[in-house]
Chain A
């Protein structure tokens, strides 16, 4: 079971971040869970194609992003709205739910890509160049989108 052990070791190092990225991208727990599950399944299937194990995290995130995007497309607008509402309701139980809600709503106003870039940086800790590799986009594009995202958030959060 050599493959499984190796994979699980790598997985245990990254799974929390994967989930967080998925959560903020998808906007709710269920979908994030689904996305991560699917991504890991695919990652495991294709594990043999990953040459450098050090790149596991980045590689897994790439797959995750793909899954998230795929999942997003599957949903109709109605579904998205109702899931969003459901998630927001959950936040009421948080101790500082106002902040939680505010952040949540703020993230919603970003485009998917902007959200992704923000999450990858803030949560994943990736720098611009790394993000551009993950998303296969030009570094400058990433930078300017990030800036715009922060501006939007700043406005939304009235900071």
Chain B
């Protein structure tokens, strides 16, 4: 303790205090002597504490949940606000351009109002035209506003009524309204005015002038930028090999997507020359990620890095744009309360740093801490990606697609029971501070959901605002996006006869075009769906395969009182599977029921008129379904083999490739990852013409189609697999398929080991031309020559 500290902190002011003070001093002295004795326990000694902290960091790194906002993130955001002030000049300049554009807009709208008013004039008689003009113009606007309000009120009411029966009963809230103010040191009312104005402005500024600064804040690292730019200029995607057909781009591996031309996000992207990947930095401090860009021309070279991320889910590369999707969580405000009593807490310093936008405040107040950030970057200059805009959306990330230049982003939005039904913000979603209007809300018939599935679209050529928003009241469990429509599926209960129930699936169909999302219709089927591959849209028809688990439900009646005690369900009935064909209005036109009793669907894939699906209990019937007559789908083939496929992929004209597990025919116990090739030249007579049972036990390929690399032209199949034998082995294995069967090409070891601190990194394989690239989540890239199968080069993390 510093001897320089004063003993007393009272001011000596009054004489008669002296005696008291001397007494006080005595007590203080005494205490000082006797409160000093304690020896610090060993565990708190610095060396030991250090170990504890290191262990704890390792633990928290493994957890998926990220609770903090990183400093760089904050710096960027704060400097964005600073940039707002600093770039005011730029804003004005930009504003002048903007104003002209804006002028046109207002002229247009006033034009339409005038024409509306003219119309109005024609239909009504006015004596004083001048004033009449003005009045009706205002009147029209007011009417429009009024109509909008009424429409909104109507649908808000409907949604409230629908959710009301499903919300859990509200506990007496421990969160007083004053609580947030204390914690965040801000007033929520202030935010309503402030944040919505500031945030867009800041983003606009980034767009118009502050790009350099924000790029710097992102700490974009460019290596050899000057040299690279010249190369970039000269080579615009075409191969530099003079002997090749220069106009022809080299064939390259793209993300394995379900629907052609509808892109899906992944952890690695390949545009035919550059490789993009999420890199996980190995630090014990925070969960740190970057996106790196590697140029593959004339050897591997890392040319750009965007850092400062924590939890990227997936990203896209679309021509000259990159879209990065990150999931974050607010600090949980409940952590600081043990027992929730009303004693004032000592303020935790962390509160300063929480970015207080209204949405985020609302999030913590109303339940659900997750929010998403969608970053759109301009990567026309590969060596220096520039951030164009970042969207912040409350909710948890479901999935997304990019189709025809638009990003369609799906987010789950939770609600909680409001205190009063006028408390709209608790149960109507807000985007960027505003409640959704009636035309952005969709309430299906008899929905039991208290969540929304929000669909947001962004025009990638001008990604500064959402093009459209559509929030459907649904749990939103599965998604299928075709070239024109979005299908959202969630579970519900089906009532059958004789007190039998089963799980069912509700389908909501939305059409989309140029970012506009429009509700079309709803449908329902029995059973539950396996995954996105168990459904398919073809020529307007929607085909599905579901697994049905019916159970009996009895109403229990008390023998004495005669009253109904409740409902009792027994899961006793046979599992089976159904095929459904629904038309473009999701009305059922054809079905096949009770297939493969006692089994469930493991994989499915559709192609034109034929669909294939695999069920399994001990053996694998591979069913072929003929959909050429939608009203009368038929099982035309049933191949029984051992094991089962979990992922099916069409391999050329007459072949169907399956990756799954081999299994003992008697017991059904799995025996190893199996590759199968089926001859489907005659769908009614499918044959397994080749199979290879590997020594691997498990693979990401079984459940994540993005992790499977299949190129028929390069005769290349690749995926990461693990073996749980004596030693744990993890490898990226590649195979080829010839007439005589599958053969192993080469494997790349990626077993977590001492040299990389036993970290488990995600991996992907891809190719450009005749070179295969293996990308690991630590940022390393290895290239192999597909002709000689020799390792060519390695780029260290």
Known: A11-B46, A48-B71, A159-B26. A66 touches B350 (CB 8 A): no
Partner of A136, one of B34, B43, B344: B344
User: What is the CA–CA distance of A7 and B350 in the complex, to the nearest angstrom?
Assistant: 16
Q: Fill in one digit per residue for A35-68: 1 if any B CB lies within 8 Å of its CB, else 0.
A: 0110011001110111100000001001101100
- Whether A128 lies near B349 (C-beta < 8 A) is no
User: What is the CA–CA distance of A127 and B23 in the complex, to the nearest angstrom?
Assistant: 19
Q: Fill in one digit per residue for A18-29: 1 if any B CB lies within 8 Å of its CB, else 0.
A: 111001100001
Known: A40-B49, A46-B349, A65-B346. A125 touches B31 (CB 8 A): no
Partner of A154, one of B23, B34, B37, B41: B23
User: What is the CA–CA distance of A102 and B699 in the complex, to the nearest angstrom?
Assistant: 67
* B residues in contact with A50, CB < 8 Å: 349
* B residues in contact with A24, CB < 8 Å: 35
- Whether A33 lies near B50 (C-beta < 8 A) is no
Give the A interface residue count (CB, 8 A).
63
Kindly identify, within residues 1 to 44 of chain B, every residue whose CB is under 8 Å from any CB belonging to chain A.
1-2, 5-6, 9-10, 23-24, 26-28, 30-32, 34-38, 40-41, 43-44
Q: Fill in one digit per residue for B353-384: 1 if any A CB lies within 8 Å of its CB, else 0.
A: 10000000000000000000000000000000
- Whether A49 lies near B353 (C-beta < 8 A) is yes
Known: A74-B338, A154-B27. A19 touches B347 (CB 8 A): no
User: What is the CA–CA distance of A74 and B10 in the complex, to the nearest angstrom?
Assistant: 35
* A residues in contact with B352, CB < 8 Å: 49, 51
* B residues in contact with A135, CB < 8 Å: 346
Q: Is B54 in the interface zone, CB < 8 Å from A?
A: yes
Partner of A118, one of B31, B70, B286, B347: B31
User: What is the CA–CA distance of A154 and B26 in the complex, to the nearest angstrom?
Assistant: 9
Distance in Å: Cβ of A8 to nearest Cβ of chain B: 5
* A residues in contact with B1, CB < 8 Å: 17, 123-125
- Whether B348 lies near A122 (C-beta < 8 A) is no
- Whether A157 lies near B35 (C-beta < 8 A) is no
- Whether A150 lies near B28 (C-beta < 8 A) is yes
User: What is the CA–CA distance of A94 and B276 in the complex, to the nearest angstrom?
Assistant: 66
* A residues in contact with B40, CB < 8 Å: 15-16, 19
User: What is the CA–CA distance of A46 and B57 in the complex, to the nearest angstrom?
Assistant: 12
Q: Is B753 in the interface zone, CB < 8 Å from A?
A: no
* A residues in contact with B691, CB < 8 Å: none
Nearest B residue (CB) for A46? B350
Q: Is A121 in the interface zone, CB < 8 Å from B?
A: yes
Q: Is B513 in the interface zone, CB < 8 Å from A?
A: no
Known: A15-B44, A125-B1. A74 touches B346 (CB 8 A): no
Known: A37-B52, A49-B353. A94 touches B285 (CB 8 A): no
- Whether A73 lies near B36 (C-beta < 8 A) is no
- Whether A40 lies near B349 (C-beta < 8 A) is no
Distance in Å: Cβ of B122 to nearest Cβ of chain A: 65
Nearest A residue (CB) for B23? A154
Q: Is A81 in the interface zone, CB < 8 Å from B?
A: no
Distance in Å: Cβ of B13 to nearest Cβ of chain A: 12
Partner of B53, one of A4, A118, A150: A4
User: What is the CA–CA distance of A97 and B2 in the complex, to the nearest angstrom?
Assistant: 27
Distance in Å: Cβ of A129 to nearest Cβ of chain B: 8
Q: Is B714 in the interface zone, CB < 8 Å from A?
A: no
User: What is the CA–CA distance of A143 and B251 in the complex, to the nearest angstrom?
Assistant: 78
Distance in Å: Cβ of B436 to nearest Cβ of chain A: 34
Q: Is B343 in the interface zone, CB < 8 Å from A?
A: yes
* B residues in contact with A143, CB < 8 Å: 9-10
Nearest B residue (CB) for A63? B348
Give the number of A-B contacts (CB < 8 Å): 147
Partner of A157, one of B5, B27, B286: B27
* A residues in contact with B341, CB < 8 Å: 73
* A residues in contact with B725, CB < 8 Å: none
Q: Is B698 in the interface zone, CB < 8 Å from A?
A: no
Known: A15-B44, A150-B27, A157-B27. A125 touches B348 (CB 8 A): no
- Whether A159 lies near B30 (C-beta < 8 A) is yes
Known: A103-B35, A136-B346. A159 touches B53 (CB 8 A): no
Known: A23-B38, A74-B338, A103-B34. A36 touches B2 (CB 8 A): no
Q: Fill in one digit per residue for B219-240: 1 if any A CB lies within 8 Å of its CB, else 0.
A: 0000000000000000000000
- Whether B43 lies near A33 (C-beta < 8 A) is yes
Nearest B residue (CB) for A142? B9
- Whether B30 lies near A19 (C-beta < 8 A) is no
Distance in Å: Cβ of A133 to nearest Cβ of chain B: 10
Q: Is B301 in the interface zone, CB < 8 Å from A?
A: no
Q: Is B68 in the interface zone, CB < 8 Å from A?
A: yes
Distance in Å: Cβ of A10 to nearest Cβ of chain B: 10
- Whether A41 lies near B349 (C-beta < 8 A) is no
- Counting chain B CB atoms within 10 Å of each CB, the highest count among A17, A48, A63, A121 belongs to A48
- Whether A4 lies near B41 (C-beta < 8 A) is no
Nearest A residue (CB) for B53? A44
Distance in Å: Cβ of A46 to nearest Cβ of chain B: 5
7 closest A-B pairs by beta carbon, nearest first, are A70-B338, A125-B5, A73-B339, A128-B9, A127-B9, A12-B46, A103-B34
Q: Can you list 29 A-B pairs with a CB-CB distance of less than 8 A?
A: A4-B50, A11-B46, A12-B46, A15-B44, A23-B38, A33-B44, A37-B49, A40-B53, A45-B60, A46-B349, A48-B71, A49-B353, A62-B347, A63-B348, A66-B345, A69-B345, A70-B339, A73-B339, A99-B34, A118-B31, A122-B35, A123-B36, A125-B1, A125-B5, A143-B9, A150-B27, A153-B27, A154-B26, A157-B27
- Apart from A66-B345, A129-B9, list 19 A-B contacts with CB within 8 A: A4-B285, A8-B49, A33-B43, A51-B352, A59-B349, A62-B346, A63-B348, A69-B343, A71-B338, A73-B341, A74-B338, A100-B37, A103-B31, A119-B35, A125-B1, A136-B346, A136-B347, A157-B27, A159-B26
Interface residues of B (CB under 8 A from A): 1-2, 5-6, 9-10, 23-24, 26-28, 30-32, 34-38, 40-41, 43-46, 49-50, 52-54, 56-57, 60, 68, 70-71, 284-286, 336-339, 341, 343-350, 352-353
Interface residues of A (CB under 8 A from B): 1, 3-4, 7-8, 11-12, 15-20, 23-24, 29, 32-33, 36-37, 40-41, 44-46, 48-51, 59, 62-63, 65-66, 69-71, 73-74, 94, 99-100, 103, 118-119, 121-125, 127-129, 134-136, 143, 147, 150, 153-154, 157, 159
